[in-house]
């Protein structure tokens, strides 16, 4: 192994250990750990070197999300190192990866809520009785946070990965919103509800390119006329290294590294209107789109027509309490 590679590894290791130090300090603070004073002092010195005011006046929920992010980054990076031959796809069964990834996702709810404050029609939808669809619900933390934040909404969470859903049901059982949240083991492209959803959240980095049209077609059909789609995607990386790492992480998670232009064009082709790409000032950008208020169910793109196999009729599902999402949900 050449000296240049060793030198580069040592340079990169500083960032790795700095992130570990930040996570350790966050954990020590949140969990009130009894850390050796000498170690604690150096942890705080390292964090101060990262950002002198990084941990000053931090909100507890923000600090908890930051720690969850550190832990899931390390666990997923270790999986890459130990299992480089693993095929692309979200196949983690490590409860730490699943729970921490889910805890990070709670931030999305507050990003959407902040967006709604500048977008009155979206705000009105979030604060009226209706259904919020969480695509790729995972362990349920985003769905639970959505139910807490918007008390008029019922929340449906879809995810095909049973190890995650088992944890989602446990997390929901210990929450105070179990009567308004339901989970289903299902892929979004198999979702057959028509005209029942007020707002749908779609995490773009977990949506593979080859299923995108079917997935978004299912969302379009599932939305009420005038309903809203919020599509999340990662902000453009700062440099070529960040771009390569982000695309690698997304591919191994089973998704696609979407650009805002790609998403806007696909949504336009599927019949969405009022499409707007929004920079949030955070690593997660949003694309907001609406099912036209006056679309009829007969003109909605069907699953078969989206897949190029000709039209197919779908029955309109009953609203909320009569929906299969609620029949025997728990």
Side-chain-facing half-sphere of 314: CA atoms under 13 Å: 24
Residue 13 corresponds to which tokens in the numbers above?
Answer: 């290791």
Question: pLDDT digits over 59-71, tens only?
Answer: 788 899 999 999 9
Whether 323 and 260 have beta carbons less than 8 Å apart is answered as no
With tokens 């609203």, the residue in question is 319
Whether 236 and 208 have beta carbons less than 8 Å apart is answered as no
Query: What integer pLDDT is reported at residue 305 of this predicted model?
Result: 45
Residues forming beta bridges with residue 132, ordered by sequence position: 155, 199
Tell me the Ramachandran region of residue 183: left when phi exceeds 0, alpha when psi lies from -120 to 50, beta otherwise.
Answer: beta
Residue 30 lies in a domain: yes
Same domain, 172 and 227: yes
Question: pLDDT digits over 172-221, tens only?
Answer: 999 999 999 999 999 999 999 999 999 999 999 999 999 999 999 999 99
Query: What integer pLDDT is reported at residue 283 of this predicted model?
Result: 84
Closest CA to 226 of 277, 273, 268: 273
Query: What integer pLDDT is reported at residue 329 of this predicted model?
Result: 36
d(CA 178, CA 23): 31
Mean pLDDT of the chain: 88
User: In this model, does residue 316 exceed pLDDT 60?
Assistant: no
Residue 114 lies in a domain: yes
Supply the Cα-derived Rg of the chain in whole angstroms. Answer: 21
Same domain, 29 and 104: no
Whether 256 and 215 have beta carbons less than 8 Å apart is answered as no
**Mean pLDDT of the 243-270 span:** 94
Same domain, 202 and 248: yes
Residue 185 lies in a domain: yes
Same domain, 153 and 288: yes
Number of domains in the chain: 2
Query: What integer pLDDT is reported at residue 62 of this predicted model?
Result: 86
User: In this model, does residue 320 exceed pLDDT 50?
Assistant: no
Residues forming beta bridges with residue 130, ordered by sequence position: 153
**Mean pLDDT of the 280-296 span:** 87
Residue 74 lies in a domain: no
Question: pLDDT digits over 25-50, tens only?
Answer: 999 999 999 999 999 999 999 999 99
Same domain, 184 and 264: yes
Whether 147 and 182 have beta carbons less than 8 Å apart is answered as no
Same domain, 276 and 192: yes
Residue 27 lies in a domain: yes
Same domain, 249 and 305: yes
| Better pLDDT: 137 or 59 | 137
Q: 143 CB contacts (<8 Å, ≥6 apart)?
A: 132, 134, 137, 155, 156, 157, 168, 172, 181, 183
State whether the Cα torsion 202-195-150-176 is positive or negative. negative
Residue 24 lies in a domain: yes
**Mean pLDDT of the 268-286 span:** 91
Question: pLDDT digits over 81-113, tens only?
Answer: 999 999 999 999 999 999 999 999 999 999 999
Query: What integer pLDDT is reported at residue 61 of this predicted model?
Result: 82
Query: What integer pLDDT is reported at residue 176 of this predicted model?
Result: 95
> Which of 9, 37, 58 is a domain's end point?
58
d(CA 57, CA 66): 14
Residue 211 lies in a domain: yes
Same domain, 148 and 271: yes
Q: With bands split at pLDDT 50, 70 and 90, how would you rate the model's confidence at 308?
A: very low
Query: What integer pLDDT is reported at residue 174 of this predicted model?
Result: 96
Query: What integer pLDDT is reported at residue 35 of this predicted model?
Result: 97
Residue 85 lies in a domain: no
3-state helix, strand, coil in the chain (%, to 5): 50, 15, 35
Same domain, 45 and 110: no
Closest CA to 30 of 129, 103, 95: 103
Give the CATH number of the domain where residue 300 resides: 3.40.50.150
**Mean pLDDT of the 164-172 span:** 97
Range of the domain at 184: 95-322
Same domain, 49 and 174: no
């Amino acid at each position: 192994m050449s000296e240049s590679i060793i030198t580069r590894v040592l340079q990169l290791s500083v960032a790795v250990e700095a992130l570990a130090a930040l996570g350790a300090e966050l954990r020590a603070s949140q969990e009130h750990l009894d850390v050796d004073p000498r170690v604690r002092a150096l942890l705080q010195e390292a964090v101060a070197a990262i950002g002198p005011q990084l941990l000053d006046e931090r909100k507890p929920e923000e600090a908890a999300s930051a720690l969850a992010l550190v832990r899931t980054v390390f666990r997923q990076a270790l999986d890459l190192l130990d299992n480089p031959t693993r095929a692309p796809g979200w196949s983690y069964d490590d409860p730490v990866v699943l729970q921490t990834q889910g805890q990070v996702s709670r931030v999305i709810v507050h990003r959407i809520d902040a967006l709604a404050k500048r977008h009155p029609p979206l705000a009105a939808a979030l604060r009226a009785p209706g259904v919020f669809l969480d695509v790729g619900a995972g362990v349920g933390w985003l769905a639970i946070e959505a139910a807490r934040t918007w008390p008029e909404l019922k929340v449906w969470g879809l995810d095909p990965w049973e190890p995650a859903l088992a944890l989602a049901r446990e997390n929901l059982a210990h929450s105070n919103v179990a009567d308004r949240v339901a989970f289903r083991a299902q892929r979004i492209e198999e979702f057959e509800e028509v005209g029942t959803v007020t707002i749908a959240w779609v995490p773009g980095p977990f949506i593979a390119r080859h299923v995108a049209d079917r997935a978004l077609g299912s969302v379009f059909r599932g939305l009420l006329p005038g309903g809203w789609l919020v599509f999340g995607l990662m902000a453009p990386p700062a440099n070529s290294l960040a771009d390569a790492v982000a695309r690698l992480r997304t591919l191994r998670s089973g998704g696609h590294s979407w650009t805002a232009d790609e998403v806007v064009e696909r949504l336009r082709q599927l019949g969405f209107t009022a499409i707007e790409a929004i920079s949030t000032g955070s690593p997660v950008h949003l694309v907001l789109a609406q099912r036209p208020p006056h679309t009829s169910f007969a003109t909605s793109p069907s699953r078969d027509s989206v897949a190029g196999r000709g039209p197919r009729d779908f029955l309109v599902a009953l609203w909320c309490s009569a929906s299969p999402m609620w029949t025997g949900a728990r």
